[in-house]
Amino acid sequence: MRKVYTRPRLLKRVPFHYCPGCGHSVIHRVMTELIDEMNLQDRIIGIPPPGCSVFAYHYFDVDMAESAHGRGAAVATGIKRAFPEAIVFTYQGDGDLAAIGTAETIHAANRGERITAIFINNAVYGMTGGQMAPTTLSDQVTTTTPYGRDTKIEGYPIRMSEIVALVRGAVYIERTAVNSPANIRKTKKAIRKAFQAQIDDLGFSLVEILSPCPTNWKMSPLESWKWVDKEMAKEFPLGVIKDTTGKKDVD
């Protein structure tokens, strides 16, 4: 009998603490598979964030260093500059990368740091109980926007990937989702491309992943998968946002 599917070698044998239907587990799986396939375990260093995925280091069997809220790109910069042979990635949520870490992210991208940001966008602050995040959709109900996000008062959902794409040091940016087998495959492909841009020493790469949060969205896992397509992807269109990896000169 031929084995066609198995647990990734680099996913530690620890039960996930994530909620049923959460995107983190899928993304962890995809990433550990990919790190193994690309043979990066012996030189990859990850920066997990505060938030639900703070415990990413309990699951990824690779070197990891925690960072404070929003500081992922700064810590990754330090590690990469001290040890340029490393492949360094940050794993950050939208309450992290798109709020408190906006400055770090934009400037790390602008400096063309050879790091990769894996940006998990679930449109809320997940761990703290589903408060409004900068990425929360217009009219979306959260614990801090009980009548729906009023853009006149709370502003608009921020499109970080598009903003980061404007800076010259960013070479590869793609937005994907993990709400269907096809999208999960595309996510893996996008992360592969982002890591490759770093391996090729080209510049900053970022993969934004729309990730369901059924608990805080107050939906069943299946409903949350559908909501990603029906609502989220309208505000945050999927696809390659920037790709200058094929060019000799950045931008």
Partner 1 sequence: MSRGGPGLGSISASQSDYFQATRGGGHGDYRTIVLAPSSGQELADLTHRAFDLADKYQIPVIILGDGMLGQMMEPVEFKHEAPEELPIRSNALRGAKGRPSRIIKTFTSKPAELEEINWSLFRRYQLIKKEETAFETFLVEDAKLIVVAFGIAARIAKGAIKNARTNGMRVGMLRPITLWPFPSEKVKGLAKRTRHFLVFEMNMGQMIEDVQLALEGRGEVSFYGRPGGVIPTPSEVLRAVSRLYHQKGLELGK
Task: Name which of 76 and 173 has its Cβ closer to partner 1.
Answer: 76
The residue type at 23: G
The DSSP secondary-structure symbol of 248 reads: S
Hey, which residues between 71 and 100 contact partner 1 (CB under 8 A)?
Answer: 79, 83, 86
Among residues 38, 65, 99, 141, the one that binds partner 1 under rule CB under 8 A: 65
Stretch in the footprint of partner 1 (CB under 8 A) among 52-60, 126-134, 183-191, 236-244: 52-60
CB nearer to partner 1: give 40 or 232. 40
Q: Is 227 one of the binding residues for partner 1 (CB under 8 A)?
A: no
CA distances from 204 to 54, 58, 81, 156, 228 (A): 23, 26, 13, 26, 26
Number of residues that bind partner 1 (CB under 8 A): 18
Q: Which residue in the set 16, 38, 63, 162 belongs to the binding site for partner 1 (CB under 8 A)? A: 63
Whether 25 and 209 have beta carbons less than 8 Å apart is answered as: no
**By CB under 8 A, what part of segment 135-174 binds partner 1?**
none
Which sign, positive or negative, has the C-alpha torsion 26, 207, 65, 196? positive
SS3 state of residue 169: coil
Q: Which residue has the tokens 């920037």?
A: 242
Q: Are 123 and 232 in contact (CB under 8 A)?
A: yes
Task: Tell whether residue 61 is a contact of partner 1 (CB under 8 A).
Answer: yes
CB contact at 8 A, 94 and 135: yes
Tell me phi and psi for residue 112, to 5 degrees: 65, 35
Candidate segments 19-27, 53-61, 163-171, 191-199, binder of partner 1 by CB under 8 A: 53-61
Q: Which is nearer to partner 1, 95 or 169 (CB)?
A: 95
What is the distance between the alpha carbons of residues 197 and 48, in angstroms, rounded to a whole number?
A: 20
Q: Please, are residues 28 and 62 in contact by the beta-carbon 8 Å criterion? A: no
User: Considering only residues 22, 30, 31, 62, which one is a binding residue for partner 1 as defined by CB under 8 A?
Assistant: 62
Of 106, 232, 77, 217, residue with least CA distance to 157: 232
Nearer to partner 1, 54 or 199 (CB): 54
Please choose, out of 1-9, 43-51, 132-140, 176-184, the segment that lies near partner 1 by the rule CB under 8 A: 43-51
Q: Does 57 bind partner 1 (CB under 8 A)?
A: yes
Pick 42 or 249: Cβ nearer partner 1: 42
Q: Which is nearer to partner 1, 65 or 219 (CB)?
A: 65
Q: Which residue has the tokens 């070698």?
A: 9
Q: How many CB atoms lie within 10 A of CB 62?
A: 22
> According to CB under 8 A, which residues from 176 to 215 bind partner 1?
none
**Binding interface with partner 1 (CB under 8 A):** 41-45, 50, 54, 57, 60-66, 79, 83, 86
